[in-house]
Amino acid sequence: MPDIGQSLGAAIAIAFGALSTGWAQSRIGSAGAGTIAEKPELIGAAIILEAIPETMVILGFVVAAMILML
Amino acid sequence: MEKILVIGSREHAQRAVDVLYRTGTLHLTDVTDHLSAEEIRLRKWDSEIREKMAGLLVKIGGVLLTLPDIKGQESRWREMYEELYWRETSDIIEEASSIVSTLEERIRELSTRKTDCELRIKAYDRYQKTIEKIRPLEEQLPSLEGFEVTVLLIQTEFADLIPLIEHELYRITRNQCEMVSAEIDEDTIAAITVFNKRFSDEVHSFIFTKNVNEVRLPQEYMGKPFEEVLELIERGRRACREEQDEIEQTLRSLSEKWYLKLSVMKHVLSDKLQEIEVFSNFGQTDYVFAITGWVPARSLEKTKKAISRKFGNRVVIADLVLSGEDLEQAPSLYANPWIVRPFEFFMQLVRPPLYTEIDPSPLLAFFFPLFFGLMVGDIGYGLVILGIALVVKKRYADQGWVQSVMNVMIISSVPTMFFGFMYGEFFGDFGEKMGWLHPVHLFGISLNRIEAILPLLILSIGLGVLHVMLGLVLGIINARHMKHRKHMAEKAGMLAVIAGGILMLASLAGVLPSVPVFAGAIVLVAGLPLIVYGAGAIGLLEIMGTVGNILSYSRLMAIGMASVILAMVANELGGTLEILLLGVIVAALLHSLNIVLAMFSPSLHSIRLHVVECYSKFYEGGGTPYHPFQRVKEG
């Protein structure tokens, strides 16, 4: 059973990662939607760009899982 | 790719273009890029005929649109096409113009009559509906002497206006008015209004100013009993239908005579027009014509044979000698085995490769299914994904991109099932709970994804190291091909730094105890000057970027873990419900959601790992895709 410090650490690790990813994706998503409206051929690039900030929450998740389970 | 020059006597120019168009192997280039004005005084081909053909095509299209289609003459169509295609373009234009001018006037007249009949039938329908609605009032009408009846048509969306109009009419007629409204179809409401004739002018003027439609029955219906009017309407409608049948019959007989020929002419002229569109690339003198372009090496013989069969040696193909610079301009053509071909679809996400650089599709074809399998890793999910892919592939057999994506899913479902076996997963931990399978033990480690977080993290990052280093090696090969020495040094330096860093870590962790730490440090430090030489001091910052790229592969473990946890939640939730059927439904719904996510998210992240982390180490892109000069497929 993880202690309160571990739980808090895991929560911080994933929460900030998730918030940052969400914020970045909202900006990229709206810009991407505008781009696709004008140049539909750039849809592939827009999808890739949208996936880039997910690294933050994924690494946050990895850290949180390691804090809780190791 | 081979660059060729097609040259011959000018009288054969049009035919030679026809042969090249039908062969469909030549990627055209501007002839003046290769033959300058000093070498040969070339004139560009004029294309005045283009306007004429485009106009004619529009007219033929219009005629074909009116004539009913004649089906089941495919073989005759092909014969006629072959016969017509090789005729002189000017002859085809002349014949087509004559047919169109004969038919155009006739078709227009028939078409106008047909439309007129349709409009009349619609009007009759409306009169009938209106009269049927006001029929119950017929008995009252004689007693309404001194009163006038009018019918207003109002769109259903403006139904709210009816009470307002009614109120206004009451005001105008000083309450000597009656209004009954009823729907005549889903879009229209008829409001029948009876009012004192004394107020006729004011009422009509009010209706006119408010822009409300009034039904004005034809003069011949006026003063007749409704029964008789309905009979007249029916008679009129029947006459219209008879006229329509007669028009259809005439159109069918015209179609039998002309449809096939016009349809063939349309396709031949459209093909010739496509040829003319690229005439600006060709050159000619008073006596010869010249065409240049790229042909894939494997299609060169076919192209030469097609030309020599038609013209002997009156038109010849010469292979041009190319410099390295010329080769950089060559168009790129993917030439991959069948297993790699579906993955070429994902290459549309980046700019097409240069002819001189390595095509990354085989790399994608190997690593994409591997990453996908590592992330999804479930026998049950693999089977479902395989099933969905096979069904969708069959259902959308005519959609090229769907076929590519589903083939990728079919290929990826195999490693998914393999890793599912390794992790001991069948719909999450359902298989393990049922005792059907268990996680494999490898080097004393159980591959249960919930327990083996660290080993799987190390495996993911290890794959990242391998993938990024492979990218750097390909970068060195590309730089060597393109003779970019600095790029080569930068990639080699980065490779040394990464390799040195890994050696140091392995030595410190006791994985490679025989390698001293300083050996790794020497390799690492040796890489630094190469990076500085290749990319300047700022290039050193790129080391952190590359380390970030490698750590990014930890998503292989993280996404997989999120997927297995959701699968376990589905099983737990389904298991806690006391009604079996409800439990199965809840678990099935959650698993379905997880499978949809599993098809989308791991694909996206797998592509992202390639495009962002790996391709950035070697891929430049910006090439021209190979587009042979041939008929553009319609539809």
Quick check: B401 contacting A, CB < 8 Å?
A: no
**C-alpha separations of B25 from B292, B356, B423, B629 in Å:** 12, 20, 49, 7
Instruction: Say if residue B455 is in the same domain as residue B349.
Output: yes
pLDDT score recorded for residue B217? 65
CA distance A61 to chain B (A): 7
Position B567 in a domain: yes
Instruction: Say if residue B440 is in the same domain as residue B538.
Output: yes
Give the whole-angstrom CA distance, residue B286 versus residue B501: 69
Contact A61 B605 (CB under 8 A): no
Type and span of the H or E element at B3: strand B2-9
Which residues, including other chains, have CB under 8 Å from residue B606's CB and lie 6 or more apart?
B367, B368, B371, B372, B375
Instruction: Pick the residue of B549, B554, B615 with the most A CBs within 10 A to test the interface with A by mutation.
Output: B554
Are B263 and B81 in contact by the 8 Å Cβ rule? The answer is no
Quick check: B606 contacting A, CB < 8 Å?
A: no
pLDDT score recorded for residue A52? 83
CATH code, A11: 1.20.20.10
Domain count, chain B: 3
Instruction: Say if residue B563 is in the same domain as residue B461.
Output: yes
A-to-B residue pairs, Cβ atoms closer than 8 angstroms: 44
Q: Which domain holds residue B426?
A: 341-470+533-617
Instruction: Say if residue B358 is in the same domain as residue B422.
Output: yes
Are B219 and B175 in contact by the 8 Å Cβ rule? The answer is no
pLDDT score recorded for residue B145? 62
Quick check: B554 contacting A, CB < 8 Å?
A: yes
Position B542 in a domain: yes
Instruction: Say if residue B263 is in the same domain as residue B407.
Output: no
Minimum Cα–Cα distance from B602: chain A residue: A51
Taking CB atoms and an 8 Å cutoff, what residues of chain B touch A48?
349, 607-608, 611-612
Instruction: Say if residue B353 is in the same domain as residue B314.
Output: no
Q: Which of A47, A52, A65 sits opposite B561 (nearest CB)?
A: A65
Position B424 in a domain: yes
- Kindly report the backbone phi and psi dihedral angles of residue B6, in degrees, each rounded to the nearest multiple of 5, phi listed first: -100, 120
10 Å CB burial of residue A34 (0-12, 13-18, 19+) is exposed
**C-alpha separations of A67 from A11, B548, B559, B568 in Å:** 10, 21, 17, 21
Position B97 in a domain: no
Quick check: B349 contacting A, CB < 8 Å?
A: yes
The Cβ-side half-sphere exposure at B302, using a 13 Å CA radius, reads: 12
Contact B558 A65 (CB under 8 A): yes
CATH code, B225: 3.30.70.2750
Give the whole-angstrom CA distance, residue B440 versus residue B425: 10
Taking CB atoms and an 8 Å cutoff, what residues of chain B touch A58?
554-555, 558-559
Position B240 in a domain: no
Taking CB atoms and an 8 Å cutoff, what residues of chain B touch A45?
349
How high is the ipTM of this complex? 0.79
Q: Which domain holds residue A34?
A: 4-69
Contact B555 A55 (CB under 8 A): yes
Q: Which is nearest to B563 in space by CA: B542, B543, B593, B534?
A: B593
Instruction: Pick the residue of A41, A61, A67 with the most B CBs within 10 A to test the interface with B by mutation.
Output: A61
Paired tokens of B200: 């006729």
Low-confidence ranges of chain B (pLDDT < 70): 36-48, 134, 136-146, 216-219, 222-223, 632-635
Quick check: B348 contacting A, CB < 8 Å?
A: yes
Last residue of a domain, one of B293, B326, B359: B326
Contact A51 B552 (CB under 8 A): no
Contact A44 B558 (CB under 8 A): no
Instruction: Say if residue B262 is in the same domain as residue B223.
Output: no
Q: What is the pLDDT of residues B42-91, one digit of tens each?
A: 666 666 677 888 888 888 888 888 888 877 777 888 888 888 888 877 88
Quick check: B604 contacting A, CB < 8 Å?
A: yes
Q: Which of B348, B453, B552 sits opposite A55 (nearest CB)?
A: B552
pLDDT score recorded for residue B271? 84
Domain count, chain A: 1
CA distance B452 to chain A (A): 10
pLDDT-derived band of residue A62, with 50, 70 and 90 as boundaries?
confident
CA distance A62 to chain B (A): 6
pLDDT score recorded for residue B635? 36
